[in-house]
Amino acid sequence: MNKKPLILGIESSCDETAASLITENEQGAPIILSNIISSQVDVHKDFGGVVPELAARSHMEKIDWIVKKAIDKSGKNIEEIDAVASTAGPGLIVCLSVGLSFGKAFAASLNKPFIAVNHLEGHALSPKINSNINYPYLLLLISGGHSQFLNVQGLGKYKRLGTTIDDALGEAFDKTAKLLGVEFPGGPQIEIMAKKGDPNKYDLPKPIFHKGGCNLSFSGLKTAILKITKDIKTEQEKFDLAASFQKTINEILYKKTKIAFSEFEKQSRPKEKIFVVAGGVAANKKIRSMLTDLCSEKNYQSIFPPIELCGDNAAMIAMVGLEKLKLKKFSKLDHPAKPRWPLDEDAAFLKGAGIQL
Ligand SMILES: Nc1ncnc2c1ncn2[C@@H]1O[C@H](COP(=O)(O)OP(=O)(O)OP(=O)(O)O)[C@@H](O)[C@H]1O
Ligand SMILES: [Mg+2]
Q: Is the bond leading into 185 cis (omega within 30 degrees of zero)?
A: yes
Q: Are residues 220 and 242 in the same domain?
A: yes
Q: Report if residue 2 sits inside a domain.
A: no
Residue nearest to atom 15 of ligand 1 (CA): 280
Nearest 10 degrees: CA dihedral of 279, 282, 283, 287? 160
Distance 135 CA to ligand 2 centre (A): 22
Give yes or no for residue 11 CB within 6 A of ligand 1: no
Residue 287 has pLDDT above 90, yes or no: yes
Give yes or no for residue 173 CB within 6 A of ligand 1: yes
Q: Report if residue 352 sits inside a domain.
A: no
Q: Which atom of ligand 1 is nearest to the CA of 146?
A: 26
Distance 143 CA to ligand 1 centre (A): 4
CA distances from 132 to 126, 157, 304 (A): 11, 18, 12
Q: Report if residue 191 sits inside a domain.
A: yes
Nearest 10 degrees: CA dihedral of 135, 140, 146, 147? 140
Looking at the 3D structure of the chain, how many domains does it have?
A: 2
Q: Are residues 149 and 123 in the same domain?
A: no
Give yes or no for residue 305 CB within 6 A of ligand 1: no
Q: Do the beta carbons of residue 287 and residue 281 sit within 8 Å?
A: yes
* Nearest one of 180, 191, 307, 320 to 250, comparing CA atoms: 191
Q: Report if residue 349 sits inside a domain.
A: no
CATH number, position 43? 3.30.420.40
Q: Report if residue 355 sits inside a domain.
A: no
What is the C-alpha to C-alpha distance for residues 20 and 275, in angstroms, rounded to an integer? Answer: 26
Q: Report if residue 348 sits inside a domain.
A: no
pLDDT > 70: percent of the chain: 99
Q: Are residues 144 and 242 in the same domain?
A: yes
Give yes or no for residue 170 CB within 6 A of ligand 1: yes
Average pLDDT along the chain: 95
Q: Are residues 14 and 37 in the same domain?
A: yes
CA distances from 14 to 33, 49, 201, 323 (A): 23, 11, 36, 24
Q: Are residues 174 and 139 in the same domain?
A: yes
Q: Are residues 20 and 95 in the same domain?
A: yes
Give yes or no for residue 144 CB within 6 A of ligand 1: yes
* Structure confidence by residue, pLDDT tens digits, 108-118: 999 999 999 99
* Structure confidence by residue, pLDDT tens digits, 134-180: 999 999 999 999 999 999 999 999 999 999 999 999 999 999 999 99
Residue 1 has pLDDT above 60, yes or no: no
pLDDT > 90: percent of the chain: 92
Q: Report if residue 248 sits inside a domain.
A: yes
Contacts of residue 5, Cβ cutoff 8 Å, sequence gap at least 6: 23, 24, 82, 83, 322, 325, 326
Domain of residue 87 covers 7-127+311-326
* Structure confidence by residue, pLDDT tens digits, 59-88: 999 999 999 999 999 999 999 999 999 999
Q: Do the beta carbons of residue 100 and residue 87 sit within 8 Å?
A: yes
Rounded to 5°, angle at Cα 286 from 41 and 261: 110
Q: Are residues 155 and 123 in the same domain?
A: no
Residue 282 has pLDDT above 80, yes or no: yes
Q: Are residues 178 and 116 in the same domain?
A: no
Give yes or no for residue 339 CB within 6 A of ligand 1: no
- pTM for this predicted structure: 0.95
Distance 188 CA to ligand 1 centre (A): 9
What is the C-alpha to C-alpha distance for residues 102 and 60, in angstroms, rounded to an integer? Answer: 9
Q: Are residues 52 and 91 in the same domain?
A: yes
Q: Are residues 122 and 140 in the same domain?
A: no
Q: Are residues 144 and 113 in the same domain?
A: no
Q: Are residues 146 and 282 in the same domain?
A: yes
Average pLDDT over residues 229-233: 94
Q: Report if residue 351 sits inside a domain.
A: no
